[in-house]
Chains A and B, each alone.
Chain A
Amino acid sequence: MGENLDFGSQTLIPLFEVNGQTLGITQTHVNTWVIMAALIIFALVVRAKIKNFKEVPDTKLQNLVETLVDSLNNFTVSTMGKQNKGFATFYGPLFIFIIICNLSGLVGLRPPTADFATTLAFALTTFFMIHGFGVKAKGPGYFKFLVEPFPFLLPINIIGEIATPISLSFRLFGNILGGTIIMGLVYAMFPWFLTLIGVPAALHMYFDIFAGSLQAFIFVMLSMTFVSGAME
């Protein structure tokens, strides 16, 4: 039973050892590359065809691309405010990448976001963006918030700031890993005839499509809220 469940990403090609831990190219790397390749190919196709785009869209591709860019711009503006529209160029691709990662379980890939390394990288990016843009917007005086409302709250404030990337990364990781584990269990455990009446399909709807898109949305929205909150 246990071997049917995957809790960690498998190391496919071991490269070197550190303190007895084998490091190498894991499933997460390969799946991330697959998703990156798909997104890059899509971007190149759009880039090649962008010359043919007209004032009024007449192809499906142009409609799709315009809807995508428009909704991501609106999403950024409504969360961060008009003056921060430029962030859409960062958060838009991030949102697309995370949501494709979360949905990749549907085609049998192990979602890269079910690996803590991926989500921690995103959360650390957010962490440095929060404080980087805070300093950029307010100067060194930005760090005054650490001694507010009372100076003796400094340690708590520091721990609270460190807790932000931890909860951000584990929220995404926990939800996607939970879905992966439960789906693995369902396929290992259910008698075959239940798959015919669509029980796994219904569970995929909840764990992959609903939870996957929702967590991508929440991750990006929280990141936006924190960054724009630090800037004002």
Chain B
Amino acid sequence: MSYFDLFFGWMFNVDPKALVLALSAIGAGFAMIAGIGPGIGQGYAAGKAAEAAGANPEGSKSATIVMLLGAAVAETSGIFSLVIAIIMLFANPLVSKEGIGIVLAASALGAGLAMIAGIGPGIGQGYAAGKAAEVTGKNPNVQGTAIRTMLIGQAVTQTSGIFALVIGLLLLFANPFIAREGVSIVLGACGIGAGTAMIAGIGPGIGQGYAAGKATEAAGKRPKLQGAILRTMLLGQAVAQTTGIYALIISLLLMFVQVF
């Protein structure tokens, strides 16, 4: 017990509101780590568009349009993180809630940690945007097909980022720990754990983005086979989503089922 007191004992003596504010600040910082993803992805897309412009000057205009469109979509997970960070900084709903300070503070940290998952969709969507720019640069006639395939692929790639957003919003606005009986340190740890689990979303995000990119490339080469290509892509992406869904299940279990 002495180690427990040494590490966590002080938390019981701090003003609960101060503790919530402090960990919200850390959480907001963690949330913004997601910016890694869109940065890499958009850079890849821009690189591919530049390559396409160099190889085929006639296609450079369509490649640039497709690149900008795809890169704007790849920005989404960065914006989700920004929204969670802004909520925690300016209108934190946990500050005004009645409850145990440690639990609320840990929930805020968890919400921030969950948003790190945005790295994956950012990279993946950027990869798809790059492949679309590449294939459009080679043959501007396939622009419509390439954009359509890219958008469907990118939308599915976003899924794990959306799951992270769901967990983040749940922890902030519909926190299940407030009404729960239990040891406060365990409940707080459940909040952090629920958020941390969602980081797994990085994997599905990158993987589904790879599938989306390759499907876009294939559909750009053979626009007539778009239907078959899309079906295969969606099937594979659903399988790649599995580990992200495991993470979501564990996260929801920690939040809504009394495991301990």
Contact = CB atoms under 8 A, between A and B. Distances in A.
B185 interface: no
Contacts of B242: 156, 160
A166 B241 contact: no
Contacts of A214: 72-73, 151
Contacts of A81: 227
Contacts of A5: 87, 90-91
Contacts of B93: 7
A171 B162 contact: yes
A170 interface: yes
27 contacts: A2-B90, A2-B91, A5-B90, A7-B173, A79-B148, A156-B245, A159-B245, A160-B238, A160-B242, A163-B159, A163-B245, A166-B166, A167-B159, A167-B163, A170-B162, A170-B165, A170-B166, A171-B155, A174-B80, A177-B83, A178-B80, A217-B151, A221-B151, A222-B152, A225-B152, A225-B234, A229-B234
A160 B83 contact: no
A160 B241 contact: yes
A81 B173 CA distance: 42
Interface string A1-39: 110010110000000000000000000000000000000
Contacts of B222: none
Contacts of A7: 87, 91, 93, 173
B87 A181 contact: yes
A167 B87 contact: no
B203 to A, nearest CB: 16
A210 B72 contact: yes
B253 interface: no
B82 interface: yes
Categorize the interface residue count of chain B: 20 to 34
B152 A1 contact: no
Interface of B: 72-73, 76, 79-80, 82-83, 86-87, 90-91, 93, 148, 151-152, 155-156, 158-159, 162-163, 165-166, 173, 227, 230-231, 234, 238, 241-242, 245, 248-249
A42 interface: no
A206 B86 CA distance: 18
B180 to A, nearest CB: 17
Contacts of B155: 171, 218, 221-222
Interface of A: 1-2, 5, 7-8, 78-79, 81, 156, 159-160, 163, 166-167, 170-171, 174-175, 177-178, 181-182, 185, 206, 210, 214, 217-218, 221-222, 225, 229
B234 to A, nearest CB: 7
B79 A178 contact: yes
B175 to A, nearest CB: 14
Contacts of A1: 90-91
Contacts of A170: 162-163, 165-166
Contacts of A174: 80, 83, 162, 165
B139 to A, nearest CB: 18
Contact of B230 (A156, A159, A160, A225): A225
Contacts of A160: 238, 241-242, 245
Contacts of B148: 78-79, 221
A130 to B, nearest CB: 12
Given A167-B162, A222-B155, A175 B76 contact: yes
A182 B91 contact: no
When A and B form their complex, which 8 residue pairs have the shortest distance between CB atoms, in order from nearest? A2-B91, A178-B83, A167-B159, A170-B162, A218-B155, A5-B91, A174-B165, A167-B162
B5 to A, nearest CB: 36
Contacts of B238: 160
B227 A171 contact: no
